[in-house]
Amino acid sequence: MAHVFLMSCRLLVLFLVLTANNAGLCRSQGDGAADGSRGRALVPAMFVFGDSLIDNGNNNDLPSLAKANYFPYGIDFNGGPTGRFSNGYTMVDTIAELLGLPLIPSHSQASGDQMRYGVNYASAAAGILDDTGRNFVSRIPFNQQIKNFESNLDQITGRLGALDVAQELSRCIFFIGMGSNDYLNNYLMPNYDTKNHYNGQQYADLLVKQYSQQLTRLYNLGARRFVIAGLGLMGCIPSILAQGRINGGCSDDVNNLIVPFNTNTKAMINDLSTNLPGVRFSYIDIHSMFQDLLANSRSYGFLVVNRGCCGIGRNRGQITCLPFETPCPNRNRYIFWDAFHPTEAVNILLGKKAFNGDTDVVYPINIEQLASL
């Protein structure tokens, strides 16, 4: 029944400020966040759902093999390792600051004053499918991430009553970046039999059918402004390169495999826009962004495009970044931080393009335009 209790971001702020310790403070707490003045914020809050590309610590206390709360992760982040799979910022960190918000705290660590600008529910190894990522033991699939958000709404509803304030919640940004693990840690894994049951198109159909249902659940909980990140060129990440021929390029097989997912996701957005009153979307074309980045790497200042800054083996992608491993010193020159994830420099670049880029990379409107509606 949680969908009945559509709570506003404004009341979320009120409740948390009234109940938190030091409730009168108007500063960001921890996490290295920049000052996010409420007066200049373009939206009340941002809620984040996804995987390791945007996880900022939700796996830290889980019995999980997918963690990044150790050095050298966070080597360039104010405060050091937090659970971000990066040397510094993730893409959503950049977007939060451009929206005028502080960095969004993880669901596992947020409390009181920290939560009033939103919550990050993303979890490394998580997928659209609940079974995705089981090799890493514990993780928080997208369905559970939605339940965690729903529980937050229920808690506030219990304190304030079932007030119909959906209009306020509808002003918040809901950022979702899902799907990578459903390929890397499901379909492409030898101990999964998924590929024996579905070809590439059938699998994309399966994923996006569930994805649509999950986004509709968020809509029924009050979400109206969605930012959806597509999948990038996963055939070009160091982990995949390390599995290919020596001195070989990107894997066309892997890159072609994800094309139907991105195509289906765009069609899903069109369908939901037609059938869900008041919903608005910004689709981030990560695939096009990475194509441009790899083709014009030097013009962006990147000199190393085919191996990780931190990792072991071929392309520094056979074993990902280990505790206390010494990473490359010139991190801003690398596209990839480890076997799977971009460097902070790339995350900042992608975040800026998503925020105010043209329709060739984010459409039908960018995040700045979505926030101003």
Cα separation, 65 vs 182, whole angstroms: 17
Is 287 in the active site?
no
The number of residues making up the chain comes to 373
Could you tell me which residues are beta bridge partners of residue 48?
120, 175
Could you tell me which residues are beta bridge partners of residue 225?
173, 280
Is 338 in the active site?
yes
Q: Rounded to 5 degrees, what are φ and ψ at 156? A: -70, -40
Q: State both tokens at 240.
A: 């995949």
Query: Can you say how many angstroms the Cα of residue 160 is from the centroid of all Cα atoms in its chain?
Result: 30
In which residue are the tokens 């809050």 written? Answer: 45
DSSP 349: H
Question: Which residues touch 88 (CB under 8 Å, ≥6 apart)?
Answer: 74, 75, 76, 77, 343, 344, 347
Cα separation, 100 vs 102, whole angstroms: 7
Q: Choose the catalytic residue: 8, 52, 64, 170.
A: 52
In which residue are the tokens 């009553």 written? Answer: 161
Q: Choose the catalytic residue: 28, 86, 288, 341.
A: 341
Is 372 in the active site?
no
Contact between 140 and 106 (Cβ < 8 Å):
no
Q: Choose the catalytic residue: 31, 55, 76, 338.
A: 338
At 176 the three-state DSSP class reads: strand
Query: Containing H/E element for 207?
Result: helix 200-220
Cα separation, 371 vs 28, whole angstroms: 21
At 363 the three-state DSSP class reads: strand
- Give the sheet arrangement for strand 280-284, strand by strand: 46-50, 173-177, 225-229, 280-284, 362-363
At 227 the three-state DSSP class reads: strand
Active site residues: 52, 338, 341
